[in-house]
Chain A
């Protein structure tokens, strides 16, 4: 987020990034080539981290599973005890963790890049609150559980996103005011939804309230294959869409006028990007709850790793690493020292780590005049 980093990001914004399949052309300048090599190294490192954390989450814990046993289980062998723990509990958990991380990372990256504001991620501007309000309403008022809660969360997120878009949309006026209007409208909606959630919590029995609270924190505890399948289906559609729109996104990052100059049709591109990002955030929230700060942190971390260049693919990988690492800490490491064996929701760890980083980011973003 430093000034030089921003400049570098703008310079490189016209070149293909790792989301595109084509490599750099032969006549590209040497510094760009070096940056691309760095991009590939970062991506490879992140993939390795994802694999390592995935294996750690699946194999380690109060019941240890050896690597050969894990492969035998994957091949379909039945091992008493291990079969259930790995195949029904840890594996779906890790798979859902990876996918929510990818979805949150992408959604946050798209929002922050498009609105040109490092703080404008879906968890700050109200979309996650929409999902929360939908899910808590379903739990408290209708006693819903499992899939119904996910569906309510999805519906809530989409409704609120639509509301924010409609309320902040105006034909007249300068286009850079559109971003700040969207952000402020989102914050207003977030405030009223938060009041609604608080009210619902006072209406519920304290057990229901606590179950709702676990969900509000974001938790992978109730992951299962059904949830993984739904999320995978969503990602199958949304990931290619995000890849297809990534070119317009790089145009919009430089400002609406510059984007129009580059041949991006601004309004439809904006609408498409908002839709994809909202759907990604909604799908991830429906699967795991609003895991705090993953959407918010992924893109800035990715930018740091790439020395200022923005990349959707790297943001998505960073998101996956954050969720897997936080869940490993919350479910396996911390319970042994802190909470007498109760697994914490993953959102507790991301929230506790995210808040200080957020403050630091606010300070540095404002100092260089990019805070809004």
Chain B
């Protein structure tokens, strides 16, 4: 109930604007200052472009900007630099897709749960995917990336459903603390089952430990192609839920008063989120904190309107993921630090800052 109230306070129209009831549903939010929104969108686009170029250019063998452009305009198979750039394309595309899915899923999750701390890593979704993948490796001998995809899907969906169901029991519904605890507890429980499998089988450990960290390396077009239909469907469904989320942000009663079918819209958004999380995890392994951090950054430009938060999150999140991946390639030469580790290093401080800040602590 408290969460509902604070959400309401946040989205109360600014002084002078018409009251909530006098307008159509979904249009009662204070418009973000147009100039700020435009500047923000431009900034996000620029950052994303820069991240893509950096992801193509940097690595164990850096490529200059001239050679980078030539690789696309005048490709020469004999030129080593061009080959390097081309070999980095699938990786960059993987980062773009997985990042967009994570960002959109994170933003929508925060809207559905009315909870500023929602994130697939915190909510135990990644742990579910991990356990499913490990079971697949151990029991069915699956070692190909394509085999992991379905398992990751299944595990992510099951874990998300369990955590959300458990946390929303009781009078107050899914408060941030209940969601985070249910997620952490489920992660701990699934984690020890996971360890039980890994301790008894060294082969499983050998395949699994590299998947577990979350990485963009070694992804090829096959893997991308397999996930792409799901990912696009998820992006489409979730991308269109902005208005539903705006109404949900007012609290269940207010949303119902605006004529919305609360349970149905929750279910639709949740389905989209699970598909997105599952595809991202299938593509890149469990990656935490991207979905958590990005919507909070985006809100600085957009205000609380989910119709704008969702698309901008989907644009900014790939920039973070690609940036983390590129940085991880450069800082530990000749090895590399996986993207999942880098995003955790960036995201955890933001999480703790959110907890310390007034908004999240007064939950």
Residues on A lying within 8 angstroms of B by beta carbon are 117, 119-120, 123-125, 167-168, 170, 173, 177, 180-181, 183-185, 187-192, 195-196, 198-199, 201-203, 206, 209-210, 213-214, 216-217, 292-293, 296, 339, 342, 344-345, 347-348, 350-352, 354-356, 358-359, 362-363, 366-369, 371-372
Contact = CB atoms under 8 A, between A and B. Distances in A.
B168 to A, nearest CB: 8
A119 B185 contact: yes
Contact of A206 (B182, B202, B360): B202
Contacts, number: 183
A294 to B, nearest CB: 11
29 contacts: A120-B181, A124-B188, A170-B356, A173-B358, A173-B362, A180-B363, A184-B180, A188-B351, A189-B348, A189-B352, A190-B184, A191-B351, A202-B209, A202-B338, A206-B202, A206-B206, A216-B195, A339-B200, A342-B200, A345-B199, A348-B192, A348-B199, A352-B193, A355-B192, A358-B186, A359-B189, A362-B182, A369-B171, A372-B177
A348 B198 CA distance: 10
Given A198-B212, A213-B205, A359-B162, 14 more contacts: A120-B181, A187-B181, A191-B351, A192-B344, A198-B209, A198-B213, A217-B192, A347-B195, A348-B192, A351-B195, A359-B185, A366-B166, A366-B178, A371-B182
B361 interface: yes
A167 B338 contact: no
A32 B183 CA distance: 38
Interface residues of B, number: 58
B170 interface: yes
B361 A177 contact: yes
Given A189-B352, A209-B209, A371 B178 contact: yes
A10 B64 CA distance: 70
Contacts of A293: 188-189, 192
Contacts of B117: 184
Given A195-B344, A354-B189, A371-B178, A348 B213 contact: no
Interface string B194-229: 011011101001100110110000000000000000
A84 to B, nearest CB: 26
A195 B288 contact: yes
Contacts of B340: 195, 198
A366 B192 contact: no
A167 B352 contact: yes
Contacts of A123: 188
B245 to A, nearest CB: 23
A82 B182 CA distance: 47
Contacts of A196: 341, 344
B240 to A, nearest CB: 31
A362 B348 contact: no
B196 A351 contact: yes
* Among all A-B residue pairs, the 3 with the closest Cβ atoms: A351-B192, A355-B189, A372-B177
B201 to A, nearest CB: 9
B355 A184 contact: yes
Nearest to B198: A213
B176 interface: yes
B337 interface: yes
Nearest to B287: A195
Interface string B14-41: 0000000000000000000000000000
A200 B205 CA distance: 13
Given A198-B212, A202-B209, A362-B182, A184 B176 contact: yes
Contacts of A187: 122, 180-181, 183-184
